[in-house]
Structure 1
Amino acid sequence: MLFVLCGSLGMQFSAVIAISLFDDLGVLGTSATRMAIAALLLLAIFRPRLRGRTRAEWLGIVLYGVAMAAMNAFLFLAFDRLPLGITTTIDFLGPCVVALLASRGIREVLLALAAFAGVALIAGLGGPFDPLGLCFAALAGVAFGLYTFLAPRIGKSSGGLQSLSLSVAVAAILTLPFSAPAAHLIRIEHALPLVASALLGTALAFTLDTLAGRLTSARVLGVLFAFDPVVGSILGAVILGQMLSPMAVIGMCIVIAAGAGIVWFAGGKTEQSGPPPVS
């Protein structure tokens, strides 16, 4: 849980930083450039091997990278049109669907549904939101669902964090058509925000999510990602001046309680079946 919470904090703080660069570098230019920086950092740290990997390993690495690229691009397009809390709330529906589909017991189904109810309360059950922004947030949620599904597989694979660094490199290559044109727009004052955003929201967040996936299942990981709309709503209120309604506060409490419940019940099953495999 701590890994996911720290990853969520990094992701949402980096979003606040990145939003300030939209006017200068463009929405997709900002997203793609920080992905490229994160790829260089992770490749330098983990030095992944390219040879000796099976076709199945490469397929997982590429799909994970595709999910990262799509999730970040659509999320940033939504950030440009919607409040931070609303965007992360809709985005969370993707992993919540994964948690619901993977649930095996009635308690987990009810808790996943409770998480949906809490997300709905955070969203305020409607408002004057940009329709295209809502579509971008929903598409980010689809990619987030795939990311949630793949994180445990990459985390528990023999490649582990080396595979993660290759996936981020795949994402950087896929978004190169947006980062390359933005390169000549980067000025010295953009360097620190770009590196900080790449480090917090991509390199650190993806690493912590993958480590969390190593320790748990896609079902549990999906509901733990409920921290994202909670943190997004709080930062939106504190930093961006997007005040929270009492209903939104209640919604956050419901989401956190539902996530804790899923972890509690899944933890009991893990103790009975033994620890997850490690490489």
Structure 2
Amino acid sequence: MLSVQLGSALSVGLIAQLGAAGTAWLRLSAGAVIFVLLARPPLRDVRRRDVAPLLALGVVSGLMSVVFLAAIDRIPLGTAVAIEFLGPLMVAAVRSQSRQALIWPALAMAGVLLLTEPWHGSVNLAGVGFAAVGAVFWASYILLTQRIGDRFSGIKGLSLTIPVAALAAAVLGVPQAVGHIDLTVIAAAFGLALLLPVIPFALEMVALRRMTPAAFGTLAALEPGFGTLIGLIVLHQKPSVPQLLGMGFVVVAGAAAQRGGQRPLVDPTPAQAGA
């Protein structure tokens, strides 16, 4: 979460130069190069039934990056993350196996409302809209990442999906970025790619092999807190008292969600056994 939010905050300067889609495309392209170098794509292990989820995860990852950067270009980082968190929150609520467990998503939701402060009235509808679309992509990303993580060991799945994500972002990103790319921009893109997607996507892939989507989704309630903190330190976006209270709510919900959230380790498939 720290890597995601730091990478997002540091991308703001690049967004001003390349646009949100252009920044997402260049950053994902750099990430794809890094993943392919770190882990050779296991093309021989891909079965016909793997193709659809691999492509879906790639497209979702690419579009999620585009809409999130478009959101933080318009609204504060913590607010954008809080709205996007509604996606994992719904995953946690829908996949919960007991009514008691719904207490924690409800508490997290109260925290999200305090972080967004919708009662102030002056809302950038485009920014909120992009973040809301990102919530749908985030929920889909959690479920698809778990499936791919169960199928391929380590980061091998990411060496397949991140290039697809870069291609998906290229549709909107290339027209925005053309004419604005130089060696400095490329170097910045590779640095940002380490923060997002390389480090967090790899860690999330490993985490989702060991946790239920509900536990992971509710633990993601910590994300608005990280977004608010990094927004304060890096972007000088000062939170209000209600937003700080909301951060406390989501931290409590995230800590409580860890109970009973461990998954049995998945038996290795042939793709995993060969790693």
Q: Is TM (by shorter chain) over 0.5?
A: yes
Q: Which residue among 199, 210, 214 is the counterpart of 1:219?
A: 214
Counterpart in the other structure of 1:175:
169
> What is the aligned partner in structure 1 of residue 192 from structure 2?
197
Would the alpha carbon gap of residues 179 and 136 (structure 1) be closer, same or farther in structure 2, given more than 3 Å must change? Answer: closer
Indicate yes or no: 2:235 matched with 1:240: yes
Tell me, in whole angstroms, the C-alpha distance in 2 between the residues paired with 1:191 and 1:50.
28
Residue matched to 1:137: 131
Q: Give the secondary-structure state (helix, strand or coil) at the position aligned to 1:243.
A: coil
**Aligned partners of 1:226 and 1:255 also within 8 Å:** yes
Give the RMSD, CA atoms, in angstroms: 1.6
- CA-CA distance at 1:183 after TM superposition: 5.1
C-alpha contact (below 8 Å) 1:95/1:223 kept by paired residues: yes
Q: 1:74 aligns with which of 67, 70, 73?
A: 67
The residue number in structure 1 matching 2:114 is 121
Gap runs ≥5 in structure 1: 1-7
User: Partner residue of 2:266?
Assistant: 277
Q: Output the amino acid matched with 1:185.
A: H
**Residue 126 (structure 1) shift:** 3.4
Secondary structure (helix, strand or coil) at the match of 2:197 reads helix
Worse-superposed segment, 53-62 or 229-238: 53-62
Asked if the contact 1:214–1:278 (Cα under 8 Å) also holds between the matched residues in 2, the reply is no
Compute the displacement of 1:163 (Å): 1.4
Report the counterpart of residue 4 of structure 2 in structure 1: 11
Give the counterpart letter for 2:193 in structure 1: A
**Alignment check: 8 A CA contact 1:151 1:218 kept:** no
Which residue is equivalent to 2:271? Answer: none
- Between the aligned partners of 1:179 and 1:131, the Cα distance in structure 2 is 22
Q: Which of 149, 156, 162 is equivalent to 2:150?
A: 156
- Give the whole-Å Cα distance in 2 for the aligned partners of 1:126 and 1:231: 23
Spell out, residue by residue over 1:56-108, the C-alpha distance to the aligned partner (whole angstroms, 9 max, x if none).
Answer: 21222111111101111110111111111110100110111011100001221
The letter for the 2-side match of 1:60 is P
Which 5+ residue runs of structure 2 have no aligned equivalent? 269-275
2:22 is aligned, of 18, 25, 29, to: 29
Cross-structure match for 1:260? 255
User: Deviation above 3 Å: which 4+ runs of structure 1?
Assistant: 178-181
CA contact (8 A) 1:64 1:147 kept: yes
| Residue 261 of structure 1: how far off its partner (Å) | 1.0
1:21 counterpart SS class:
helix
Equivalenced residues, count: 266
- Distance in 2 (CA, whole Å) between partners of 1:150 and 1:241 is 34
210-219 or 171-180: which moved more?
Answer: 171-180
> What is the aligned-residue identity percentage?
30
Structure 1 counterpart SS, 2:180 = coil
Question: Which digits, 9 at most, give the CA deviation of each residue in 1:240-261, with x for residues without a partner?
Answer: 2211122111111111111111
Alpha-carbon distance between aligned partners in 2 of 1:61 and 1:74, rounded to the nearest angstrom: 20
Aligned to 2:258, the other structure's residue is in SS state helix
Structure 2 distance, partners of 1:28, 1:41, is 20
Amino acid at match of 2:100: R
The TM-score with structure 2 as length reference comes to 0.91
Counterpart residue number, 1:185: 180
Q: C-alpha separation between the residues in 2 aligned to 1:178 and 1:124?
A: 31
- In the alignment, what sits opposite 2:52? 59
**1:168 counterpart letter in structure 2:** I
Cα distance in 1 for residues equivalent to 2:42 and 2:25: 24
**Cα displacement (A) at 1:153:** 1.4
Counterpart code for 1:42: F
- Give 1:179 deviation, angstroms: 4.2
Matching of residue 251 in structure 1 with residue 246 in structure 2:
yes
Distance in 1 between residues matched to 2:58 and 2:150, nearest whole Å? 16
For 2:114 and 2:187, locate their aligned partners in 1 and report how far apart those are by CA, in whole Å.
36
